[in-house]
Every structure is written in structure tokens, then in C-alpha cells.
Amino acid sequence: MMLFGVTVFQSALAPAGLRLTLASPLLRLAAVSAVVAGMTTLAWLLLVASDVGDGDSMVGAVLFDTEFGQVWQFRLAILVAIGGAFALRDRAKWPALAILSALLLATSGLVGHAAMIEGPQGVLNRSSHVVHLLAAGFWIGALAPLLLATRRLGDRDRGREALLALRRFSLVGYFAVAAVVVTGALNTRLILGSWLGDRTSPYETLLLTKVGVVAMMIGLALFNRCALVPRLEAAPRPAALLHAIIGVEITLGLVVIALVSVIGLLPPD
């Protein structure tokens, strides 16, 4: 998610001057994200193989004889391509990494609870999960570069570009948030067969908690867009508050990811 958000920000949202200014720290952040994605992909494969049985042969069996393994072969190939994309020139690097990280993130929507349903409804469920992940990945992943951009709001050279990037993020963010809400509701309906309401279910309790945290993030995002960003045109003084709120959004985003990680291990009952 971080790799996707950073690379989309650099390739589509940041004006040229701001993109160059932020290139060094964001390239390091993207590289660390890619390494973590590679390590966790391998760890995920080994953990699934250990659930199946003992021995190194189980890794090959999972990788080549299961639906999960088919997705993971594609995921591993994407990771190799991502490693090569870092060697490209800046003009080609960021768009290439954005496309590859989108594909990498999308593969997570093809396994787990998304793979429980077969037939046309299963295709709809997987597609909804993919859209949900990409929308959430952009929203949460792009907050880090946005945080760096807000530090430039008071600069004579980069202040206007930082404000433009902020406005572009806000515009795309409307669609991303709408997609998160719609696909989240659809995923819940498809997996549970009903809306949330069972207070005795750990799965539903954590899912409701996640919905509450996301609602808080939406509230903060709307406050930023409607109350703070317009005031930045007149003076940069609201930038400090905006910077702090984006930091809170990042923290809440990490809480959401942690909740989803636990929810993914629970039976949807």
C-alpha cells in the first residue's frame, strides 16, 4: 500500500518541481516498502506451506498445486519486475512502479476470504476486494508523501506546487473514499450474506471497529478538504494543523491495517 501510494503521488499528483524535491526521501521509502513486501510475500508462502504439512516439498506443492500458489507465482514475478523498475530513469521509474505496485496490491484481493465464493458471485467478490485494496492503498499509502509535501507549503519556490498536489490528492481522494465505502459494504454482504449485527461474533466486532476507525479518517479528511485547504490560499498558517491531522490519519490507517490483518485470520461467522 505504501509503495503504491508513494509511486502514484510521484507519477500523477506531484508537480515537476515538487516531485524532484521529494524524490530522494520518497525513493528510499519506496525501496524499503518493496523490500518489506518481498519479505512478507515469502513469509506468507512459508506459513501457508507449514499449515499444509511439514517439509520443504510443501512449499512447491502450495506454489504449483493450489489456487493460492498460482496467485503467488504472479506476485513473485511482479516483485522481480519491481526490483528491475528501480533501475529505470526517474521519468519512467515512478509510472512503472505505480503500475507494478498496483498489480502487486491487487493480488492480495484474490486470496483469503475473497477466494471463498465460487462462480459469478466469487468473481464479483474478488473484483470488489481488488478495487477496495487499490482505493484504500492510494488513500493510506499517499498520506506519507502528502505529509512531506505539507512541509513545503511555506516555501517560496515549492509552496504553490505543494498546495496543487494537496488539491489533486483531495480530488482523487473523493473517489477513493467512495470506492472504499461501497466495496467495503459489498464485501461484507457477499462474505457474511447479511449486514453486520451479531455482537457475539469476533469477526463482526472487529469489522465494526474497523468501520468506526475508517469513519474517523473520513471525518478528518473532510475537515482537511473543506476547512483547512481553502484557508491555505490566503495564508500558510493552517499548514501546521493540517500536518498534524495527516499524521493522525496515518496512525488511524495503521490501526485499520492491523485490524484487517486480524480479521483475515478469523472465520466470517
Count of positions (residues) in the chain: 269
What's the pLDDT band for 21 if we cut at 50, 70, 90? Answer: very high
Cβ contacts of residue 104 below 8 Å, gap of 6+? 3, 4, 37, 75, 78, 79, 82
Q: How far is it, in rounded angstroms, from Cα 77 to Cα 79?
A: 5
Query: Hey, where are the domains in the chain?
Result: 2-263
Q: Give the model's pLDDT for residue 39.
A: 96
> Alpha helices of the chain — where are they, by DSSP H?
2-8, 16-52, 57-65, 67-85, 90-107, 119-141, 143-150, 159-192, 202-223, 229-232, 239-263
Q: Are 164 and 16 in contact (CB under 8 A)?
A: no
pLDDT tens-digit map of 58-104: 888 888 888 888 999 999 999 999 999 999 988 899 999 999 999 99
User: What is the three-class DSSP state of 46?
Assistant: helix
> What pTM does this model have?
0.90
Q: Is the pLDDT of residue 48 over 90?
A: no
CA dihedral (83, 89, 92, 98) positive or negative: positive
Q: How far is it, in rounded angstroms, from Cα 181 to Cα 162?
A: 28
Q: How far is it, in rounded angstroms, from Cα 131 to Cα 179?
A: 7
Q: Give the model's pLDDT for residue 200.
A: 75
Residue 250: which H helix or E strand, with range? helix 239-263
Q: Give the model's pLDDT for residue 233.
A: 65
pLDDT tens-digit map of 160-194: 898 899 989 999 999 999 999 999 989 888 888 77
C-alpha cell at 251: 496512525
Q: Is the pLDDT of residue 55 over 70?
A: no
The upper half-sphere exposure of residue 159, i.e. CA atoms within 13 Å in the direction of its Cβ, equals 13
63: burial class by Cβ within 10 Å (0-12, 13-18, 19+)? Answer: middle
